[in-house]
Chains A and B, each alone.
Chain A
Amino acid sequence: MKRRDLIIIGAGPAGLSAAIEAAQYGLDVVVYDENALPGGQLFKQIHKFFGSKEHRARERGFRIGQQLLEEAGRAGVEVVLGAQVIGLYDGLIVQVVRGDRIERVRANAVVIATGASENMVPFPGWTLPGVIGAGAAQTMANLHGVRPGNDLLMVGCGNVGVVVAYQMLQAGCRVQAMIDASRAIGGYGVHAAKVARTGVPFFLGHTILQAEGDGKVESATIAQVDERWQPVPGTEKTFAVDTICLAVGLTPATQLSRMAGCTMVNLPGLGGLVPATAQNGATSVPGLYVAGDAGGIEEASSAMIRGRLAGLAAARRQGFADSQAAESRGQELHESLDRLRGGPFGERIRAAEELMHKALEKEAACQTA
């Protein structure tokens, strides 16, 4: 069986950042990605990022993707595409499908950076053609130049909902309405404002009742919800739309971390079941790290820092990084992450991190008892 210093699963912002960081310390790094193209979600993100210069603020996501790929190339990272990891044994033996072969490779450390999948919400008519994830709409428009539809309803007003709605307007769609069951827009006000000033109405405290149409979506009916999230009769509104985009949250991809036997915790603030991790992404399985959305839903800017933290930790574990320099580098990365997680929008993550910390303490107490 071949051996590698570090195997990274997923070539998105977290995986590529982990690879670049570790390769800088001299590790032999391979990144597997099941897709034909690297970059994860970055290449469909045509908007400018937030944060500060250190977080590549005001750069558009797809350019950041290009930069990461170039950096990875310069650092000597091997990126293998069309490579689907289907197994993780003892945390460090990676089973990967490449073409018509299955290979097993042993690693000294592994970073799971498999990202997340979009949540769906079922309603009568939700299987009609025309009901798509917001991410799918982004892929169609921004990667393939295909307009998903002409008249669109966006379900969900978190950052994904408001950002993608704006991109659909840029693609030439008419966004008929933005709805969310919550009473308040979850995304950044500035993102919502870009959509609102084009004349798109927002309906907060509303849910989708059903999609109607003969063989495809032709209209959608929404209604207000009461404080128990139940539709209020008599408040129905119907919109003539051919596309319903769902932007109702993401769920971390945890198949591999569960298979590897990581201690898992259920933290709704992070998107549900996630592996319990230390601050550097180390799971309960020695040598196995997790970074980016696979360890809890956040955003690409923080995924890049979390990737770097995991890459650094993998390098330190194998004795590649001088402990004092690595210590201050780790400190620098943590501070950078804290700057992104400040303010009211970071509250969700900070609270979940706190719960994660408590869960780890409890776990440790149980093991010594």
Chain B
Amino acid sequence: MSDCLKTNGYLLMEDLANAPGVPSAERRKQGPVAIFECIQEIPCNPCEQACDKDAVRVGSKITDRPELNAENCSGCGKCVSACPGQAVFIVDESKGDEAYVTLPYEFLPLPDKGEIVLALDRSGSVLGEARIVRSRLLDSMDRTAQVTMAVPLEWSMQARFFKRKEA
């Protein structure tokens, strides 16, 4: 475990290596799947309550970390908007040389489909250009929209936010 989350506010890949909410590389290639970037023991379980496929478990001790059952996960994204920490992402590496990354987004206006944006990593550093595939905001999401962006496959586990290009 690195100290990066405690000192810089973001996780490193090594911090996610043994997290119970992270799907295997093999599972990510099969199609959309949730990634729970939630590694501290905080009292919280809406992800579990949002999932109707029994794909994520917190258990009776609500400070336990979410554990993904990747076989049950369809990548539907209900947990993405339910998470008060905005710590759940959907990654789909089944699209050839692109990966689709779906992230929780609470800013207005929402980006347009097809818009070219700059993908950012967990530290907010610019990775490069990404294409918006979809913006979704349903009433059930309670204002936590979900934005899906297409990024080069090698960024699938880095790209977690985006910024819009100056108009």
Q: Is B40's beta carbon under 8 Å from chain A? A: yes
The contact of B82 among A55, A58, A342, by CB within 8 Å, is A58
A169 nearest CB neighbor, chain B only: B107
Q: Are A184's CB and B123's CB within 8 A? A: no
In the complex, chain A residues 88-139 whose Cβ is within 8 Å of any chain B Cβ: none
A157-B6 Cα distance, complex, nearest whole Å: 10
Chain B residues with CB under 8 Å of A178's CB are 9
Q: Is B157's beta carbon under 8 Å from chain A? A: no
Chain A residues with CB under 8 Å of B10's CB are 192-193, 196-197
Stretch at the interface among B22-30, B83-91, B92-100, B131-139: B83-91
User: How many interface residues does A have (CB within 8 Å)?
Assistant: 44
Shortest distance from the beta carbon of B109 to any chain A beta carbon, whole Å: 12
User: How many interface residues does B have (CB within 8 Å)?
Assistant: 43
Chain B residues with CB under 8 Å of A188's CB are 40, 42, 85
A312-B150 Cα distance, complex, nearest whole Å: 54
Chain A residues with CB under 8 Å of B121's CB are 197
Q: Are B40's CB and A196's CB within 8 A? A: no
A192-B42 Cα distance, complex, nearest whole Å: 14
Residue picked from B9, B37, B41, B161, most chain A C-beta under 10 Å: B9
What sequence of 0s and 1s flags, for each residue 181-197 of chain A, a beta carbon within 8 Å of any chain B beta carbon?
00111001111111111
A332-B9 Cα distance, complex, nearest whole Å: 36
Q: Is B125's beta carbon under 8 Å from chain A? A: yes
Chain B residues with CB under 8 Å of A170's CB are 106-107
Query: Known: A58-B142, A192-B5. Is A199-B43 also a contact (CB below 8 A)?
Result: no
Shortest distance from the beta carbon of A18 to any chain B beta carbon, whole Å: 22
Residue picked from A57, A178, A189, A201, most chain B C-beta under 10 Å: A189
Q: Are B43's CB and A339's CB within 8 A? A: yes
Q: Is B165's beta carbon under 8 Å from chain A? A: no
Q: Are A185's CB and B6's CB within 8 A? A: yes
The contact of B7 among A55, A197, A202, by CB within 8 Å, is A202
Query: Known: A52-B43, A193-B9, A202-B7. Is A60-B85 also a contact (CB below 8 A)?
Result: no
Q: Is B63's beta carbon under 8 Å from chain A? A: yes
Chain B residues with CB under 8 Å of A60's CB are 142-143
Q: Are B44's CB and A191's CB within 8 A? A: no
Q: Are A343's CB and B63's CB within 8 A? A: yes
A170-B37 Cα distance, complex, nearest whole Å: 22
Q: Are B124's CB and A199's CB within 8 A? A: yes
Q: Are B8's CB and A194's CB within 8 A? A: no
A49-B7 Cα distance, complex, nearest whole Å: 24
Residue picked from A47, A192, A196, A204, most chain B C-beta under 10 Å: A196
Query: Known: A190-B85, A196-B124, A197-B122. Is A344-B41 also a contact (CB below 8 A)?
Result: yes
The contact of A200 among B83, B106, B124, by CB within 8 Å, is B124
**Using a CB–CB distance below 8 Å, which chain B residues touch chain A?**
3, 5-11, 37-46, 49-50, 61-63, 82-87, 106-107, 120-125, 142-144, 160-161, 163
Could you give 11 example pairs across A and B, Cβ below 8 Å?
A48-B144, A52-B45, A57-B44, A58-B84, A157-B9, A190-B83, A192-B5, A192-B10, A196-B9, A197-B161, A346-B63
